[in-house]
Amino acid sequence: MKKSEQQLRELNATKDKFFSIIAHDLKNPFNLLLGLSELLKDSLEENGTTKQHQYIDKIYKSTKDTSKLLENLLIWARTQKGIIDFSPTEENIHSLVDKEVKLLNQLAEKKSISLINKIPDGLTVSVDKNMFSTIIRNLISNGIKYTHHGGTIEINSQSVKENNQHFIEISVKDNGIGIPSEIQDKLFSISENISTEGTENETGTGLGLILCKEFVQKHSGKIWVESEVGKGSKFTFTIPTIS
């Protein structure tokens, strides 16, 4: 009975999260896009290019954030239906991380944030390529969101052993605003609604970290965060490897 009750609560939490995203986090960006597009249209003859550039910049940022949300939402929906294949293959981890760093570098450059891939070039681990890339992409994106101009984000790795099992620990560390201790344990829970604004008022749903947890668990690993307000955050996850 207790197990069924817990499963029911998790299902309800998942449903509530889904509808809250649709009702709020998708509706609001589209309303913003419509409003800004109308202002841009009306200002073409009335205002100079400076005002138009401001509108266009806001439209770009809102479109980019909404696109990322839709991507995560679609992936998450597929995980709930159990239709995402888990197909691990031997991959060069440095190369996979480097690909995501290059994709996100333009976003980081807008805040003068340095993305540093410190993972050894020869490190290979058996991972699902798409899931691993999604984990790294979300963790780096979060780091960019919560790091001030001129900050640094480092991606690193180390080999560890726990209970006679060998793991690769991969960490994404920033020197941003940090996370209050009282909400750190809630970040990976679907039943909690944890979402805070970034250093430039960037918004989010917390869905990315929930995806990270699900994909890490698919690899039989675990994920956690170490953080101190004002000093940054370090997200770490493990992937088992053969000794």
Q: Contact at 8 Å (CB) between 118 and 234?
A: no
pTM recorded for the entire structure = 0.73
2-81 CATH, one of 3.40.710.10, 1.10.287.130, 1.10.760.10, 2.40.10.480: 1.10.287.130
Residue 238's φ and ψ, nearest 5 degrees, are -115, 150
State both tokens at 54: 């401001």
Domain residue ranges in the chain: 2-81, 88-241
For 41-99, write each residue's pLDDT tens digit. 666 656 556 667 676 777 776 676 677 667 767 776 666 666 677 889 999 999 999 99
- CA–CA gap between residue 218 and residue 86 (Å, rounded): 7
Topology alike, domains 2-81 and 88-241: no
For residue 20, name the pLDDT band (cuts at 50, 70, 90): low
Closest C-alpha to 233, from 157, 170, 153: 153
For residue 216, name the pLDDT band (cuts at 50, 70, 90): very high
Burial of 161: CB neighbours in 10 Å, binned 0-12, 13-18, 19+:
exposed
Mean pLDDT of the chain: 81
pLDDT of 108 over the 80 cut: yes
**Pairing of the two strands 124-128 and 232-241:** unpaired
For residue 233, name the pLDDT band (cuts at 50, 70, 90): very high
Burial of 177: CB neighbours in 10 Å, binned 0-12, 13-18, 19+:
buried
Closest C-alpha to 74, from 207, 225, 238, 242: 207
What mean pLDDT is predicted for residues 11-26?
58
The alpha carbons of the chain give a radius of gyration, in whole angstroms, of: 20
Please report where in the chains the tokens 């990976």 appear, as a residue: 188
Closest C-alpha to 104, from 92, 95, 113, 91: 113
N-terminal to C-terminal alpha carbon distance within the chain: 41
- CA–CA gap between residue 82 and residue 66 (Å, rounded): 24
By percentage, how much of the chain surpasses pLDDT 90? Answer: 42
Q: Contact at 8 Å (CB) between 239 and 127?
A: yes
CATH of domain 88-241: 3.30.565.10
For 138-186, write each residue's pLDDT tens digit. 999 999 999 999 999 999 999 998 888 899 999 999 999 999 998 888 8
